Amino acid sequence: MEPLVFKIGTIRNPILIDFKEFNGQKLIDIRKCFIDKNDSNNLIPTKKGISLNANQLNQIIEVLNSQAESITEFFGINEFREIGVEVKSTMGRSFQCRYENKKTTVDIDEELRNRMSSDNVSLFIKLVESFYSALSEVLEQEDEKELILDVFNHKLSRQL
């Protein structure tokens, strides 16, 4: 797959949007840069920026879309375009968990589902639901749960 890197902003104050993988976790890195004095085609990233996993990116997109009217008012512009992106995939993992209406739901990506029999898919879903529920009882921070699930997915992908 071709690297996903985008440059926005001005020539003097560029911002790089870089989709990359770090320690087995897929991230979007949004960072201010400056132009290398020795090579004007080379951008050097600064410490000013942020790296987000897919779950965090999805949360930002949801906030921006749900608050489009307030954002428009804040900036004093006529219209704030909704981003219109919703991460419905398993967000870089073979599975994704969510808790809604007092129920844990597990989504499995098609590739993983195709590698398992239907009995194994049902068993896997029950195991992940139980694991996620246990994590939720022990850990307060959503990021901590997501990190453990990312590591679990990484270990799982090596086994299957």
Q: Rounded to an integer, what distance in angstroms lies between the CA atom of residue 68 and that of residue 62?
A: 10
User: Nearest-5° angle of CA 94, CA 85, CA 131?
Assistant: 30
Following DSSP, what letter does each residue of 32-84 receive, concatenated?
EEEE-SS-TT-EEEEEEEEEEEHHHHHHHHHHHHHTHHHHHHHHT-S------
pLDDT digits 0-9 by tens, 148-159: 888 888 787 777
In the structure, what pLDDT confidence band is assigned to residue 31 with cuts at 50, 70 and 90?
A: very high
Asked whether the beta carbons of 33 and 14 are under 8 A apart, the reply is yes
Amino acid of residue 92: G
Amino acid of residue 159: Q
pLDDT digits 0-9 by tens, 114-142: 888 878 888 888 888 888 888 888 887 77
Kindly report the number of other CB atoms within 10 A of residue 113's CB atom.
Answer: 15
142-159 helix and 54-66 helix, angle to the nearest 10 degrees: 140
Asked whether the beta carbons of 53 and 91 are under 8 A apart, the reply is yes
Look at residues 85, 86, 89, 16 and name the one whose alpha carbon lies nearest to residue 51. Answer: 16
Asked whether the beta carbons of 43 and 14 are under 8 A apart, the reply is yes
Q: Is the pTM of this model over 0.85?
A: no
Boundaries of every domain in the chain? 4-75, 95-159
Top-confidence residue, 147 or 85? 147
Look at domain 4-75 and name its CATH class. Answer: mainly beta
